[in-house]
Structure 1
Amino acid sequence: MPQPPWKAWYKLARWRALRLRIFLRDLYTCQRKACGRVEPDTSLLVCDHVIPHRGDERLFWDEGNLQTLCKACHDRDKQREEQASLHMRGVWD
């Protein structure tokens, strides 16, 4: 099955530059209020879409829709929230 076109956006130099801009804007700090971890190692940070873009190019590139999360918060909390929202939207029903 072919990958959706938006997957390739994550490989673009434009995305890499934007990701670093967001980390700098957020002072390399996880934006989860319960966390607030400062992480200088960018491999342990995720540039997260506040509102999932689901292929919407406008949401994907919108700096106001991006936040820094530590990898632990992103992989645990954010993914749990997104999975729950799939059920609420009826995607898996």
Structure 2
Amino acid sequence: MSSNAAPWRRWYKTERWRKLRERILLRDMYICQKTGVLLSGKHPAPNSPVIHHDKEHRGNEALFWDEDNLVSVSKQWHDSEAQRQEQETLQHRGVWY
């Protein structure tokens, strides 16, 4: 990771995130909450599980860790639809913490 990377990117490497990720997957029963597909693949398979922030956290630590803001989705949905939605909001993003 470059020294210019956003500090919040490190949160994904923590034990806290690993445990939270597993709780969300279990809560959602390994089902994509956007498409209904079973999340049984291994990364980088299209049906591999990704934990998605429904509301962009923009570096806000409370929002990043908020379980109510997290959903299980497929890598395919995340890499296509979620990214498309983020690109649409680029001009409206505001400040990243």
Q: Aligning the two structures, in what range does the TM-score lie when normalised by the shorter sequence?
A: 0.7 to 0.9
Match of 1:26 among 18, 22, 28: 28
Q: What is the aligned partner in structure 2 of residue 66 from structure 1?
A: 70
1:7-66 per-position Cα deviation (integer Å, ceiling 9, x unaligned):
10000000011001000000000011xx20012346411000000111000000000000
Q: What is the aligned partner in structure 1 of residue 5 from structure 2?
A: 3
Query: Equivalent residue of 1:48, what SS?
Result: strand
TM superposition outliers: structure 1 runs of 4+ over 3 Å: none
* More helix per residue: 1
Match of 2:81 among 77, 84, 88: 77
TM-align CA RMSD: 1.5
Q: What is the aligned partner in structure 1 of residue 36 from structure 2?
A: 36
Distance 1:90 1:8, change over 3 A: closer
Gaps of 5+ in 1: none
Q: What is the aligned partner in structure 2 of residue 45 from structure 1?
A: 49
Q: Percent identity?
A: 45
- What TM-score, normalized to structure 2? 0.84
Gaps of 5+ in 2: none
